[in-house]
Amino acid sequence: MSIRGSVVGRLLLIDVAASVAVLGLWYFVFSTYNRKKGAAALRWVQAACAGKGRILESHWMGSSRLQARLHFPSGWFENARVTVKFRPRALPLQWLVSCWRRQKETLTFEADLGGSPSFHLEVVRHRWCAHNRGISSRKRDDREWDIYEPGPIILTTRTHWKQDPTAELNALMSARRRDILQVRFRPESPQFSATVCLEALADGEAATELVSALREIAAGASTHRQ
């Protein structure tokens, strides 16, 4: 019994050691992969600034989150930074959950504006909505759907709202097709933030247009105060 127990104990130790080694190798390989993607993302950001801004420093916050500070000319952005969120590939369970939820890799830009907004505004992008006409069919492909692209919906705490859209909302609507997922204004720092799909920065020309769109949005908010 003692010999059998000793063999089982050794096998158990071998299994544990092998599992730790596999998990360690997994973490090393995929954290290295994320770091390579992070270096590429910073190059995309630098290229997108088109000489108007530069990266001051960057650091990793865990294995899937990268943050960098940016410097722009006066009149653009103050205390600017970007946070790049990758899929948590180095952590198997979190990675599987991320894949199941179809979470996208994103870049969030945060900065203070030349003029502090006197309002809170959050815009979340929603592409499409649809409903079934209720026509019954055995084949799923035979269902008839009506697809609609909804117009803008504004929720505000202001007691008075002008009929004409404000400058920042005009800029938002003009930039709605540039992979901007979320935009937020608030009086506190950071006064402006925008989240975009990371893959949108891979195309240099599109990334430059994206930065210009963010600049236009921020400029509209800083000049419009009430």
Kindly report, residue by residue over 163-172, the tens digit of the pLDDT. 544 555 555 5
Total tally of structural domains belonging to the chain: 1
pLDDT at 130 over 60: no
Highest mean pLDDT among 40-54, 85-99, 110-124: 85-99
Stated pTM of the model: 0.73
Boundaries of domain holding 101:
2-223
Query: Which of 47-51, 67-71, 127-131 comes out lowest in average pLDDT?
Result: 127-131
Long-range pairs of 81-88 with CB within 8 A, sequence gap ≥ 24: 81/109, 81/110, 81/111, 81/190, 82/45, 82/107, 82/108, 82/109, 82/110, 83/107, 83/108, 83/110, 84/38, 84/41, 84/42, 84/108, 84/198, 86/34, 86/37, 86/38, 86/198, 87/34, 88/63, 88/64
Please, which pLDDT band fits residue 190 given cuts at 50, 70 and 90? Answer: confident
